[in-house]
Structure 1
Amino acid sequence: MTEAKLIKYLQIPRKPLTGTQHLTPIIISDSKGTYLREQVIHPIDKNIHWRCKSGTTIQDQLKWLKTNINNKIQQVGDISVYIWSGTCNLTTRDKNGYISITSTNDDTIQLILDKFHECIDTIKKYPRSKITILEIPPYSIIKYNQKIASNINSKKQNNHKDSNKNHSDLVTQSDIIDKYSEQETQLQQQIVKVNEGIKYLNSTLGTKSPCFSIHLQSRRQRSRGKVNRLRNT
């Protein structure tokens, strides 16, 4: 799921809520949360507290939660925590900005799920608060690295005074596909496994995460249906 699709999901029109708010929502995330925070348009979403920082792992977020939960509850009252993490554990960024899969076995998957469990145990100490683990959206190593390669190539070309020079050191889009195709498949498999673990953890809490890809696909299908009906009238 792309950033644009996530933003569209956040901006779906919703009916106004009624009743009294008993829990203050807090979203703890990496750059995914940052992108969404910048796109908030609904008045009710202005009440969300965001703890989002690019590049943070689940270990970083667990540490923040343990350190700050007491003060946060004292400040805003009982809370509903949403942990949206794992992306920066599954893949690692190198000095040039390219990402690659962190581990080809299930070690990283187990680490992520163990830390999610610790987050849950931390919140359970506060019975009137709650926690939900959000599923990891599918993302592409190939598409991400193709974008990085394109940016690097542009900088190299701009730095050459002779525009006719043959840039043999440029990385092509096909180079990225050849290098990362196997990792792409492994990443998607790991995301599925992590999300299966998240579903189980949430089921023990009586809650669930939105399945972003399915919800977005359903919405696109409904939109296409409306367009087709208009065309046929």
Structure 2
Amino acid sequence: MTEYKLLKYLREPIIPPPGQRVLTPVVLTDSKGYWVSKHCTIPTENTIKWWFKSGRTSAQGLEWLRSNLDSKIGQLDNISLYIWLGTCDLTTYDGKYIALRSEEQDTIKTLTDNYQHIIELFRNYPGCKLTFLQLPPYSIYAWNKYKQHPELKQFIEQDIKLLKQYTEINEHISKLNRTLGLISPNFASDIYHKVNKKKSDNKRKASDQYNFNLYRDGIHPDTTLARVWLRKITKLVIFDCW
């Protein structure tokens, strides 16, 4: 998708929700939350609480919930919690560059196990609602290029493997949400573009499918894309919390 199409989407007015809000919307996430939440302007967007921390993995998010969920629900009353974690599970970060964490299934299993632990933890709060947000695609190559890595060629293959893991995680998220009777916005559709049909799936780079020019750095959304993701989350919040 192009920036023009994203801006066209943003021109559609958002209808204020009727009636009284019954749940407080909260997004538990990593640094994506900073770049999206900074664009909250209208009253409905400002009702969303953002619990974000840069570099947060699903394991760290789970531990944070175990330590803080009781007190937070005590402060906010019943919540609709949106889990937007997983990006930092799939790659490592050395303070400047990122790399694929593992080529094996252990990373995916750990992440999906942590999702299940969050579901089990949330069963103690029957008045609350839980949704897993799909992960946006991202690019190891684009991030390391942004950080001026001297040897970028090695990250092309890593991006192909990351894309396969990312796709598998989002398929799992969709299944989890179906069991919870809930849905997630599709954030990938906002940067998707047509691909070369001659390439097989296992040779297709992330940049062949996604327009990472709409990102700041290959991971975090630039202004227009961040506003679109916020709009999608806000529409979901209106449906869930009013």
Q: Which TM-score band (shorter chain)?
A: 0.7 to 0.9
Cα distance change on mapping 1:92 and 1:13 into 2, 3 Å: farther
How much has 1:216 moved relative to structure 2? Answer: 6.2
Deviations 1:167-196 (A, max 9, x none): xxxx2xxx31x1111100000000000001
2:211 aligns to what?
none
1:200 aligns to what?
175
Number of matched residues?
A: 191
Aligned-residue identity in percent: 40
How much has 1:13 moved relative to structure 2? Answer: 3.5
Q: Which runs of 4+ in 1 moved over 4 A?
A: 5-12, 215-218
Cα distance change on mapping 1:149 and 1:190 into 2, 3 Å: same
Greater percentage in helix: 1
1:163 aligns to what?
none
The answer to whether the 8 A contact 2:57-2:86 is kept is: yes
Cα distance change on mapping 1:89 and 1:6 into 2, 3 Å: farther
User: Aligned to 2:147, what secondary structure does the other structure show?
Assistant: helix
User: Aligned to 1:149, what secondary structure does the other structure show?
Assistant: coil
Q: Does 2:52 align with 1:15? A: no
How much has 1:94 moved relative to structure 2? Answer: 1.6
How much has 1:42 moved relative to structure 2? Answer: 2.1
The answer to whether the 8 A contact 2:6-2:190 is kept is: no
Mapping of residues 75-224 of structure 1, within 5 Å: 75-95=75-95, 97-149=96-148, 171=150, 175-176=151-152, 178-214=153-189
User: Aligned to 1:137, what secondary structure does the other structure show?
Assistant: coil
TM-score in terms of structure 2 length:
0.73
Q: Within 1, Cα distance between the matches of 2:190 and 2:97? A: 30
User: Aligned to 2:148, what secondary structure does the other structure show?
Assistant: helix
Q: Which amino acid aligns with 1:182?
A: E
Q: Within 1, Cα distance between the matches of 2:9 and 2:71? A: 31
For the aligned residue pairs, the C-alpha RMSD in angstroms reads 2.5
Question: Which consecutive unaligned segments of at least 5 residues does structure 1 have?
Answer: 151-170, 219-233
How much has 1:125 moved relative to structure 2? Answer: 1.1
The structure showing larger relative contact order (alpha-carbon pairs under 8 Å, at least 6 residues apart) is 2
The answer to whether the 8 A contact 1:142-1:180 is kept is: yes
2:230 aligns to what?
none
Mapping of residues 1-80 of structure 1, within 5 Å: 13-80=13-80
TM-score in terms of structure 1 length:
0.76
